[in-house]
Amino acid sequence: MSAQAPHQNVDMNDADSDHSDAMLDPTEADEEIASDEDAPMDSDDDEALQEIQLHNDSVAHFDAHKESIFCIAQHPVHPQIIATGGGEGENEDEIGIGYVFDATPPEAPVLPASYQSNPQPVERASLPPLYKLTGHTASIGSITYTHPKGQYLCTGGLDGSLRVWQTDPSGRKYRPLASAAEVEEINWISACPHPGHPNTIALGAKDGSVWVYSINAADKTSPLTIVQTYYIHTEACTAGAWSPDGRLLATVSEDASFYAWDVWGEAAAAGLAPAQGSQAVVSLTAQDERFKVEGGLYSVAVSPNGAFAAVGGAEGHVRIISLPRIGAESSSSSGSVKAAGARAKAGAGGGKQSAGQAGQILASLKAQTDDVVTLSFSAPPSTLLAAGSVDGSIVLFDTAHRFAVRRHIPEAHAEANEEHAEENEEEKAVVKVEFVRDVPGGEWLLTSCGSDGVVRRWDARGGTAAAAKGLVGEWRGHRGGGEGGLVQGFVQGGGRWIVTAGDDGVALVFDAKV
């Protein structure tokens, strides 16, 4: 919409320079100047007002956050229970705030009979919070529920503090349990899936350190206990991921190093000696020219069978590293660690050989042009690795065929307005990719979100009508496009419902049934 302010043309040809201050002609005194009722207020520029069209595909929303939502987590037993973390305030006054809410979409409202004759838009109410997470003095940047039952909710703050809340079996009631502040800033938190070590988490810090904690509310003197600490990364630890069985923890850093930590000692018990001069069972740094990535590493994922890890870094580089295979007989939960250690001593050669096979660089890949910030492996029988980049692209590698590129989607989350995209290259970044799990056929479905504020789902097998890229659905509602509405993350447990964390301070619930 646009409007022009009223104006009057003045003919200066008849004006004499000596009479510049002449009074208004009396014949013009009663002249009325018609005004434009749509004229805008005075402004500093003459730019026309722009019409903004908002498209919202969500079926529910949560808007208690006053500022950006930076992280999101889903209860492992009750997937409708969602926890989010963000910040409120500005600069040094900012505090960390989080919420827990039930993302179940409400039933459609019953409209009055008068609506048929005089329809008016019905404003949808926000989902109500179940609990407010407080205590951080800076933004909450990471959040997770513990495995396997979600007994505890953990938050990591930019203030360096780790805070833990205990939940009830329904996941709807919370109470503060414990906190720790050992580092300057926490970059990520990941829950350990090891069945023998429930309620364990790992975190990575800005100073490069890695911490593993166990949580037990029954221990009144120390409900939050340090299990391991590692200090080998020399710059910020940017990402971490547990192996699917929880026996190894893989971490990467801005110093371009990769380590696989034998947190529970099971690799050592199986005769797999740690890397020379390191506490890690696998150790690779930028000193190895074959592994070196100028600009650092920013993402890591471990394959479903635990055989190898993928790391993503600057300028589109991806490295694939083999990991040690720890047999089931070495499990500490079965009480066979000592026996495994005795077998390792009796046949040390076999153990050394296995250790030697771990840590090999299986592939060095580069199919993208900017930082690879997110990685995800598909579930068997699919053999795909998805990589999302700041350049706006998604690449699918086939892990069963020498990591060949199965598909390259160059503008998966590129800005729709090309003019705007040229001015703001970062507005096309892919923020997260994740394959759907625990759903029949989910191994072929990949969900992604990005700086354009859109959530998309792709069929990795391709062949759809969406330009053969495999796009099977997209959902909009966040502003995106440089308007502070990028999607910082999402959860999708169960496959149908996708819940987002928006930089616009809103969490949206999308029905992804296709």
Average pLDDT over residues 128-148: 97
Average pLDDT over residues 122-130: 90
pLDDT value of position 300 = 98
Residue 458 has pLDDT above 50, yes or no: yes
Give the confidence band of 468 by pLDDT, cuts at 50, 70, 90.
Answer: low
Pair 215, 200: CB distance under 8 Å: yes
Of the spans 22-26, 91-95, 293-297, which averages the highest pLDDT?
Answer: 293-297
Q: State how far the Cα of 337 lies from the Cα of 330, in Å rounded to an integer.
A: 5
For the chain, what are the domain ranges? 69-107+123-327+335-511
Give the chain's length: 514
pLDDT value of position 383 = 95
Residue 433 has pLDDT above 60, yes or no: yes
Residue range 398-431, pLDDT digits in tens: 999 999 999 999 989 875 444 444 445 556 899 9
Give the confidence band of 116 by pLDDT, cuts at 50, 70, 90.
Answer: low
| pLDDT-above-70 percentage for the chain | 74
pLDDT value of position 482 = 55
Amino acid in the structure at residue 310: A
pLDDT value of position 121 = 60
pLDDT value of position 438 = 80
Give the Cβ contact number of residue 195 at 10 Å. Answer: 12
Lookup result for tokens 């069945």: 195
Query: How far is CA 405 from each of CA 105, 297, 307, 399, 458, rounded to the nearest angstrom?
Result: 39, 21, 20, 9, 16
ω into residue 223 within 30 of 0, thus cis? no
Least confident among 21-30, 132-141, 241-250, 264-273:
21-30
pLDDT value of position 479 = 80
Least confident among 74-88, 104-118, 346-360:
346-360
Q: State how far the Cα of 164 lies from the Cα of 92, in Å rounded to an integer.
A: 24
| pLDDT-above-90 percentage for the chain | 66
Residue range 299-333, pLDDT digits in tens: 999 999 999 999 999 999 999 999 998 874 444 33
Look at residue 304 and give its three-state secondary structure. Answer: coil
Residue 204 has pLDDT above 50, yes or no: yes
Pair 162, 181: CB distance under 8 Å: yes
Look over the chain and give the mean of its residue pLDDT values, rounded to a whole number.
82
* Nearest Cα to Cα of residue 150 among 175, 177, 169, 173: 169
Query: How far is CA 421 from each of CA 427, 430, 483, rounded to the nearest angstrom?
Result: 7, 14, 12
pLDDT value of position 93 = 63
Q: Which CATH architecture has domain 69-107+123-327+335-511?
A: 7 Propeller (2.130)
Residue 336 has pLDDT above 60, yes or no: no
Vertex 336: Cα angle to 333 and 340 (nearest 5): 130
Token pair in block for residue 74: 């889903």
Pair 218, 227: CB distance under 8 Å: no
pLDDT value of position 349 = 31
Token pair in block for residue 195: 């069945």
Least confident among 295-304, 411-420, 474-483, 495-504:
411-420
Average pLDDT over residues 182-203: 98
pLDDT value of position 277 = 59
pLDDT value of position 453 = 93
pLDDT value of position 226 = 98
Strand partners for 293: none
Average pLDDT over residues 430-440: 92
What single DSSP character describes residue 183? S
Q: Output helix, strand, coil percentages for the chain, rounded to the nearest 5.
A: 10, 35, 50
Higher pLDDT, 347 or 442: 442
Q: State how far the Cα of 317 lies from the Cα of 395, in Å rounded to an integer.
A: 12
Token pair in block for residue 443: 């191994």
Q: State how far the Cα of 486 lies from the Cα of 495, in Å rounded to an integer.
A: 22
Residue range 231-253, pLDDT digits in tens: 999 999 999 999 999 999 999 99
